[in-house]
Structure 1
Amino acid sequence: MHVDVIVLAGGRSSRLDGVAKASLVVGSTTLLQRAVEAGRGAVAVGEGGSPGTGGRVVVVGPDDETTALGDTLRDPRASSCAVLRTREAPPFGGPAAGIAAGLAALSGPPAPAAAGPAAARAPLVAVIACDHPRVDRALPAVLAAVLRDGADESIDAWAARGRDDRLQPLLAVYRRAALDRRVAAVRRERAHGLDGASMRTLTEGLTFAPVPVPTVDTADIDTWADAARFDATPPTASVAAGDHPTHSGGAR
């Protein structure tokens, strides 16, 4: 399986008093680190558990040092998976605008280190929001469903769904052609294009295959009460300074 990954990290975090969600620390890592590492794991998935054909990860959001993302990029495993950075236009344009920016970045020429077959445009794109603290559990379940049902061309996307019956379009894997088609359609149909467009608008008409996962694995962090449920804390001064320890497994 060949999949690229878009990690969305560009929200305002208004209900967290402006503290960037991406910078919250769960266990020993920031939420953005956890999302990037989940994405890195996704590009390595192949048939029957064999290695995948590679892919790229793009982080859409501000270049915020408090996320300690540099620690993840300095991990020796980073050399096997290119991690790009980009920003939605205009900033804070919402998740649909972020996805469009991510697709554009993934469509550009690969860096020299990423040259080769794995750098080609992947037919599948995983989209994950950085505010899901258990993305490392939910995303593998979605990928397993893609491996199982990927030959069914009537399916445009696979998305996690908890027992609360809520489909999570930001914990999902899409066929790139379907996403490209919807991005182009929204640009044509809305005066402001993707700016401020909802995920409902972007995914209108797409056929989703729900992937059952534990509801807690689909939860996101929007408020301090949500953060408390996952023992998520604001970044410390050492994290902001880039002295955060490199993560190698994830808090469970």
Structure 2
Amino acid sequence: MVGVTADFAAVVLAGGRARRLGGVDKVLLPVGGRSLLQRTLDVLRGAVPLVVVGPQREVDAPVHWTGEEPPGGGPLAGVRAGLQLVPEGSALVAVLAADHPHLTEATVPRLRAAVLAAPRAGGAVLVDAAGERQWLLGVWRADRLRAAMPEQVRDRPVRGTFAALDPVEVAPVGAEPADVDTPEDLLRARNRA
């Protein structure tokens, strides 16, 4: 575990195979002059530690790199790997996928405020315009997330683990929940940027 303790840490999932984008390193695709990964890191300034799960890349932020076990084990395996670098004393941990180009500096503070205002909730999660929970856009009580982590994480959906924490739902502002999975998504993101 990283030796620095803060009340707010972050885990960014930056792995995956980007099959629908032809296998490119999706998180390095530029939107508005910055890579998807850098855009995500930019909205997490102040998180200590800032952990990125995925291959090491050049970024403009002090990050700790790790990989999921088993490699290619899916997002829940990535969350577990990231949590291993989050100090036990961290109260909250943001868990974000690195392919959401429209998060802003206000997104994570809104999520943090929502979970702090609801003591019984294990976290707060952004919902999309249709009301669907975006499980990889949330802030969680770190101790409760650790306790909810199943023994076997390979290829298990994050939904089951995160839903069990009974999170507060936070409405989106603008295109915050939009992600980049296809060439069409990338074009839309670039047009909005």
SS at match of 2:126: strand
Give the C-alpha shift of residue 39 in structure 1.
1.4
Aligned to 2:128: 162
Q: Which runs of 5+ in 1 are unaligned?
A: 44-54, 74-81, 108-119, 188-192, 233-250
For residues 147-158 of structure 1, the aligned pairs below 5 Å read 147=113, 150-158=116-124
Q: Confirm or deny: 8 A CA contact 1:10 1:91 kept in the other structure.
A: no
For residues 165-244 of structure 1, the aligned pairs below 5 Å read 165-183=131-149, 186-187=150-151, 193-214=152-173, 216-231=175-190
1:132 and 1:97 mapped to 2: Cα distance? 20
SS at match of 1:7: strand
Q: Confirm or deny: 8 A CA contact 2:115 2:168 kept in the other structure.
A: no
Q: Which amino acid aligns with 2:56?
A: D
Give the C-alpha shift of residue 149 in structure 1.
5.1
The structure carrying a bigger helix percent of its residues is 1
1:208 and 1:148 mapped to 2: Cα distance? 9
Aligned to 1:241: none
1:33 and 1:121 mapped to 2: Cα distance? 27
Q: Which amino acid aligns with 1:32?
A: L
Q: Confirm or deny: 8 A CA contact 1:162 1:213 kept in the other structure.
A: yes
Give the C-alpha shift of residue 180 in structure 1.
0.4
Give the C-alpha shift of residue 175 in structure 1.
0.3
Give the C-alpha shift of residue 7 in structure 1.
0.6
Q: TM-score by structure 1 length?
A: 0.69
Q: Which runs of 5+ in 2 are unaligned?
A: 1-5
> Is the alpha carbon distance of 1:204 and 1:141 closer, same or farther for their aligned partners in structure 2, counting shifts above 3 Å?
closer
1:89 and 2:69 aligned: yes
Give the C-alpha shift of residue 40 in structure 1.
1.6
Aligned to 1:61: 54
Deviation >6 Å, runs of 4+:
none
1:44-74: CA deviations, max 9, x gaps? xxxxxxxxxxx2100000124xxx42xx03x
1:126 and 2:119 aligned: no
> Rg bigger for which structure?
1
> Is the alpha carbon distance of 1:93 and 1:145 closer, same or farther for their aligned partners in structure 2, counting shifts above 3 Å?
closer
Q: Confirm or deny: 8 A CA contact 1:161 1:215 kept in the other structure.
A: no
SS at match of 2:170: strand
Aligned to 2:83: 103
SS at match of 1:10: coil
Question: Percent identical across equivalent pairs?
Answer: 34
Note the aligned Cα RMSD (angstroms). Answer: 2.1
2:189 and 2:167 mapped to 1: Cα distance? 28
2:63 and 2:89 mapped to 1: Cα distance? 14
Q: TM-score by structure 2 length?
A: 0.88
* Higher relative contact order, chain-length normalized (CA < 8 Å, sep 6+): 1
1:104 and 1:62 mapped to 2: Cα distance? 17
